[in-house]
Structure 1
């Protein structure tokens, strides 16, 4: 593969992950446990959608095949998406949602901080702007994990139940591939091993304060979002998200 091909796939991974996580959060609209939480979730979701547009805009420019960010977001089929498996998982209860958000945020902030030092000025600029938002996202989700984990007997049990639902999908947060290795060697993206180490340290720190047990390291399994092999949940989510653009492809606002 060429460096540009590797970079396009990496940009799609960033953009798709932010987009799908933002879409999941927006599903809480009208359903959050409190009005303040609904507003906070929508703000985080909108932040992520905005970041997704920036990454997908750049990917579309590099692809240079007539597609734009909207086309990449709403016209691709499931197998063409490169988002993390973690973010496509259902919201579940509030413990599941906040634990998933925390796992993602702890990875996302480290990645963005590394990308802000990229040799590609476009990437560095997008990442530097997004770091401010991601810092708030991580602080908020981490505090919720601690609050629920070290809260009541009920909230603690819900966090315990949430961990096995999500933990195996974190394997993608701590494992790189040959493409990332090449991009790192070119100075474009951070070292995947350093991201993994920082993520693991952050999770251990928050789990300790939340009085939650840290599971053994996740192991590989048959799904692989880098190759478009997703869980059954992504197709259902995309059917909802893409309905209007696909039903009315020529519509404009």
Structure 2
């Protein structure tokens, strides 16, 4: 059976005259885009431009909500009541839906950003609060989760459409969470290293941690961050190595997880 995997990237993270990443180049490589909703990064003009480019390139559109933390790029922890978290997600998803429709597309998935995502990966109740809020808005939405974490446990309980994600440019702890960015080796910048490790994980059907541990998991999509210096090169190399090994690249379907 032919292996198939989606490639996604976080984008739309520029702000006014300040440019972050090369979204136009990434949109020629990936099959899904997670677009910032103007809270942790991005603004209304950037959202509109990125949505239009995604539609033009036939790339699936996702809302990428984060904490209200422009200065910290959404990577600083915030402790908010679950009701507030839910409203924060609804607010950003609604903005993404409006911009996507105006561009002739639609939001098909949602992926939490930064500290919000990392905290939800360790806290099932927090993940449930975020995902229930999103599904209140669109029950058919595909929720993209960090494979093997409490995010996945949350969507399994909800029974919603799901895409399980691994990261091309991030190192893993033995509990399937991501190594803290403050630690050496947490972010991978070498395209060759990123490409080989993604091929190894997809073929093994498992997350391979820094210690060499294999954590079996469903892998629907691979994240290629758009805000690193070698982002486009990593994206291109991952795609080349996967396709060279017979792995097809296509948008995820989003079936529930067990």
Q: Answer whether TM exceeds 0.5 for this pair.
A: no
Higher strand content, 1 or 2: 2
The structure with the larger Rg is 1
Higher helix content, 1 or 2: 1
Q: Name the TM-score, length of structure 1 as normaliser.
A: 0.31
Q: Name the TM-score, length of structure 2 as normaliser.
A: 0.30
